[in-house]
């Protein structure tokens, strides 16, 4: 078989050819889950990213930069997200009591209500997705992904090809 014929045959087998590629599998799963959540959140008028930022902001007083690090957003995306949340009346930027240059993100009463409603949607969608794998596979997947994210994949590699937040300094 010629090299051209082999390349054509390999292309015909894709995405089958990618089923052993962890990056591709996680990207596909992320995209499908993110779009399902975005559709489920539409009636609430919130995005999955906005939900993540509000949820993280509820854990304590955080500056914009601290929230970006917690959620894993670059600073430009965080600014846009906070602008949207403020315009919707779900959050506001308040002066920090410890650093006059910094702003702390506060979740409004309406924002808290959105997080509560969105958390119910997340729980339902997540349960449906994991249940599709059957017991105990869904629980094992969730546990294993959590382990990867806390350990081997806890920090992104320094590179220019992926638009995400800057790597955090360990212990920060």
pTM for this predicted structure: 0.77
Query: For residue 124, what is the domain's CATH number?
Result: 1.10.10.10
pLDDT at 4 over 80: no
Share above pLDDT 70 across residues of the chain, in percent, rounded to a whole number? 84
Domain containing 41: what range?
A: 20-150
Does some domain include residue 6?
Answer: no
How many domains, in total, are found in the chain? Answer: 1
pLDDT of 166 reads 43
Does some domain include residue 79?
Answer: yes
Q: What whole-number distance in Å separates Cα of residue 81 and Cα of residue 78?
A: 5
Query: Quick check: 53 and 71 in contact, CB under 8 A?
Result: yes
Does some domain include residue 7?
Answer: no
Does some domain include residue 98?
Answer: yes
Does some domain include residue 9?
Answer: no
Most distant CA pair in the chain: distance in Å?
71
pLDDT of 14 reads 62
Query: Quick check: 119 and 58 in contact, CB under 8 A?
Result: no
Q: Which residues contact 81 (CB under 8 A, 6 or more apart)?
A: 47, 49, 50, 53, 73
Does some domain include residue 61?
Answer: yes
pLDDT class for 157, splitting at 50, 70, 90?
confident
Does some domain include residue 49?
Answer: yes
Does some domain include residue 50?
Answer: yes
Q: Which residues contact 56 (CB under 8 A, 6 or more apart)?
A: 62, 67, 70, 71
């Amino acid at each position: 078989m010629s090299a051209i014929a082999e390349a054509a045959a390999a292309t015909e087998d894709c995405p089958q050819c990618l089923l052993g590629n962890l990056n591709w599998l996680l990207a596909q799963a992320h995209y499908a889950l993110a779009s399902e959540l975005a559709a489920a959140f539409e009636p609430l008028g919130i995005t999955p990213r906005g939900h993540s930022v509000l949820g993280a902001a509820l854990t304590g007083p955080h500056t914009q930069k601290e929230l970006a690090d917690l959620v894993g957003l670059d600073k430009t995306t965080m600014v846009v997200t906070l602008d949207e949340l403020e315009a919707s009346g779900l959050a506001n930027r308040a002066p920090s009591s410890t650093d006059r240059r910094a702003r702390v993100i506060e979740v409004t009463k309406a924002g808290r209500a959105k997080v509560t409603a969105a958390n119910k949607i997340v729980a339902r969608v997540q349960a449906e997705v994991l249940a599709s794998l059957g017991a105990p596979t869904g629980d094992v997947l969730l546990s294993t992904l959590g382990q990867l994210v806390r350990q081997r994949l806890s920090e992104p590699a320094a590179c220019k090809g992926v638009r995400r937040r800057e790597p955090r300094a360990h212990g920060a």
